Amino acid sequence: MSDTWVLGQRGLRETLRTPDSLIPTLFIPVFFLVVNVGQAGKIFPSGTTPFLEGQNYAAFQLPSSLLLAASFGTAALYLVEDIEGGYFDKLRAAPVSRTSIVLGRLVAEGAKNLAITAVMVLLALPFGISIATGPLGFVLLLLLTAGWAVVFAGFMQLIALKTRSAAATNAGGLVFFPLLFLTPNFVPRDLLTRPMEIAATFNPVTYIMEAMRSFILEDWTWSRLGPGFAVVAVLGVVMVVLNVRMIRTYD
Amino acid sequence: MTAAVEAQRLVKHFGGRGGTVEAVRGVDLSVSKGEVFGFLGPNGAGKSTTVKMLTTLMSITSGTALVAGVDVAADPDAARRRIGVALQEAGLDPRQTGRELLVLQARLFGSPRGEAADRAQSLLELVDLVEAADRRIKGYSGGMKRRLDLASALVHEPEVLFLDEPTTGLDPASRLTVWDEVRRINRRGTTVFLTTQYLEEADALCDRLAIIDGGVIVREGTPSELKSQLRERQGLAYGPTLDEVFLDATGRTRERIEGEVQEVHA
Ligand SMILES: Nc1ncnc2c1ncn2[C@@H]1O[C@H](COP(=O)(O)OP(=O)(O)OP(=O)(O)O)[C@@H](O)[C@H]1O
Ligand SMILES: [Mg+2]
């Protein structure tokens, strides 16, 4: 456990020393939020759109942007650098559990995403967005989003460990496209066309997005929050197990 | 007394698209405690692959390896605690400072925070990097990186130290510093397993050595044993150098090498 934390601190140090890498992580999601709301906001006026629960369309769109910000998987690109530079071998030569080696990076990625999500939500508050579930909901919203960031980074790390190539890892990151867009991204699930609805129902990210929305738009609704956390927990465990297996058999 | 390194019929195959590469094909090694053992061989002979298998960094296709009495495949963590390793490519993280890297490494080997800081300081002094300690590794020269890599292999005072070409790319002065360092580490009781391309280095440092070629050991003994063997076998009037032993062992005779060079120029 303490090994995980020691390695996590190193991961955070790495992030703080490459602040440039945070710019796209913040800028691209905010850009999408502004553009999407600017284009579709008029179709969904807050007074007459039931699914907005009295808030504006930006409140509905915010979770998509938060998920986008959580789907960069930067940890995996740093991992490729470690592998290429040989530092990964130095870590592997230390008598620490392989789980700590995996979790160290993921903890750092989670912590970084907590900060990014908090900044984005706080920036959104002055634009008429409020968190219906209050401060506790805000905290859980951050944790859920960070959980997804960890899952996604874990997935990208698998590609990094398998291919040991930055180009392949970057390319693998493009799965965020189907994952984030085959979702009830612009309207709730029951308003989607039938094929879209089916696709969204099979996409695990849908449940995370719906839970995040629920924190922002509704009073505590565990039937929507629960599945989101369940998806993150299950995928999180799967990713860690697969990563550890991959490092054990790494040659 | 158990040996520091005891390998039996060590084999490593790499499976790839172009078929299997048999990098190591049945290597037996026995290194006594307290020795400086040299592991020589031409490029691609299987030196680094053997070192990685002995240091738990690579799976063993078949055969067994005990390092400091521990089976590296059966109990890798116990082996790791007794082994220090500096690989051929210095494995450093450019975004940390030298000091941070050493502290982190010491903590991963179980030192509490304060102890790790002390250990890092004394290692920085040892490899003469105190002034650069708080700068990012990114800006270190090749020689500084090598020295830091060596220091990081020593954080836990290993029983057996593996150095894969520790002096490649160093200037003559730095090379001598590393030699002194290896001798000093060895005097404190650490067994050193060292690969090198420089035969005068092997001659100067190693108590015993093995020459590997094409994945198999082709010579083994003390430098003087190997030289006198060659002298007797070829009936030489003079004492051959280790270079000649190496060329003879690996079938790369001077004549052939000169011939090849001429072909290239033709
Ligand atoms: N990961 C790998 N995958 C496939 N083949 C490999 C791998 N690593 C090494 N080899 C092959 O195994 C053989 C031995 O390589 P190794 O690196 O052990 O040689 P070496 O003696 O250290 O050479 P050098 O003096 O150039 O460092 C070579 O033919 C090499 O191509
Ligand atoms: Mg090598």
What pLDDT is attached to residue B18?
A: 84
Contact B223, B249 (CB under 8 A): no
| pLDDT tens-digit map of B140-175 | 998 899 999 999 999 999 999 999 999 988 889 888
Establish whether residue B48 lines the binding site of ligand 1, counting it when its CB lies within 6 angstroms of any ligand atom. yes
B191-196 sheet: strands from edge to edge:
B83-86, B160-164, B191-196, B36-40, B208-213, B216-221
Q: Taking CA B114 as the corner, what is the angle to CA A111 and CA B92, rounded to the nearest 5 degrees?
A: 60
Cα(A86)–Cα(B164) distance, integer angstroms: 13
Indicate yes or no: CB of A93 within 8 angstroms of CB of B92: no
- Structural domain of A196: 2-248
Verify whether the Cβ–Cβ distance B108 to A91 is below 8 Å. Answer: yes
Torsion of CA A115, A118, A124, A125, to 10 degrees: -150
Radius of gyration of chain A (CA): 19
User: Is residue B59 lining ligand 1, measured as CB closer than 6 Å?
Assistant: no
pLDDT digits over A181-193, tens only? 999 999 999 999 9
Contacts of A82 in chain B (CB under 8 A): 93
Considering only CB atoms, B92 lies closest to which of A7, A87, A92, namely A87
Is the C-beta atom of B88 inside 6 A of ligand 1? Answer: yes
Q: How confident is the model at residue B47 (pLDDT cuts 50, 70, 90)?
A: very high
Query: What's the maximum distance between 2 C-alpha atoms anywhere in chain A?
Result: 62
Q: Which residue has the tokens 């925070």?
A: B113
Domains of chain B: 5-88+160-181+190-250 (3.40.50.300)
More confident residue, B256 or A135: A135
Ordered DSSP codes for A209-229: HHHHHHHHHSS--HHHHHHHH
The confidence band for B238, taking pLDDT boundaries of 50, 70 and 90, is: confident
Q: pLDDT at position A147, please?
A: 97
Q: Is the pLDDT of residue B1 over 80?
A: no
**CA nearest A93 in B: which residue?**
B80
pLDDT for B263 beyond 50 = no
**pLDDT recorded at residue A65:** 95
- Ligand 1 pocket: which of B13, B25, B49, B201 to mutate (most atoms within 8 A of CB): B49
**Which residue type sits at B96?**
Q
- Residue A214, helix vs strand vs coil: helix
pLDDT band at B264 (very low <50, low <70, confident <90, very high): very low
- A122's CB contacts (< 8 A; 6+ apart) are none
* Contact assessment for residue B109 and residue B83, using Cβ atoms and an 8 Å cutoff: no
One-letter amino acid for residue A175 of the chain: V
- ipTM passes above 0.85: yes
> Does residue A47 carry a pLDDT above 60?
yes
Residue A89 has pLDDT above 90, yes or no: yes
- CA separation for the pair B256, B157 (Å, rounded): 45
CB burial of residue B134 (10 Å; 0-12, 13-18, 19+): exposed
Number of domains in chain A: 1
B49 ligand 1 Cβ < 6 A? yes
In which band, very low, low, confident or very high, does the pLDDT at B255 lie, cut at 50, 70 and 90? Answer: low
Task: Output the pLDDT for position A95.
Answer: 96
Q: What percent of chain B has pLDDT over 90?
A: 73
Task: Pick the range with the lowest mean pLDDT from A41-50, A129-138, B39-48, B57-66.
Answer: A41-50
pLDDT of residue B258 exceeding 80: no
pLDDT-derived band at B265 (thresholds 50, 70, 90) equals: very low
Q: Which one-letter amino acid corresponds to residue A76?
A: A
Query: Please, how many CA atoms are within 13 Å of residue B52, restricted to the half-sphere of its CB?
Result: 22
Task: Name the CA radius of gyration of chain B, rounded.
Answer: 19
Enumerate the residues of chain A whose CB falls inside 8 A of the CB of residue B95: 13-14, 17-18
- pLDDT of the residue at A205: 97
Per-residue pLDDT of A218-228, as tens digits, reads 999 999 999 99
Distance of alpha carbon B164 from alpha carbon B166, whole angstroms: 6
Q: Do A90 and B89 touch (CB under 8 A)?
A: no
Nearest to B89 among A17, A86, A96 (CB): A86
DSSP-based three-state secondary structure for A36: helix
Bridge-partner residues for B14, per DSSP? B21
Residue B200 CB–ligand 1 contact under 6 Å: no
Supply the DSSP symbol for A218: S
A209/chain B closest Cα distance in angstroms: 35
Question: If you measure CA to CA, which chain B residue comes closest to A18?
Answer: B95
pLDDT for the residue numbered B177: 87
| A66 alpha-carbon distance from chain centroid | 7
Pairing of strands B160-164, B191-196: parallel
Question: What is the secondary structure of A73-125 as a DSSP string?
Answer: -HHHHHHHHHHHHTHHHHHHTSSS-HHHHHHHHHHHHHHHHHHHHHHHHHHHG
Task: Give me the pLDDT at residue B132, please.
Answer: 96
Q: Which residues of chain A does B136 touch, with a Cβ-Cβ cutoff of 8 Å?
A: 17
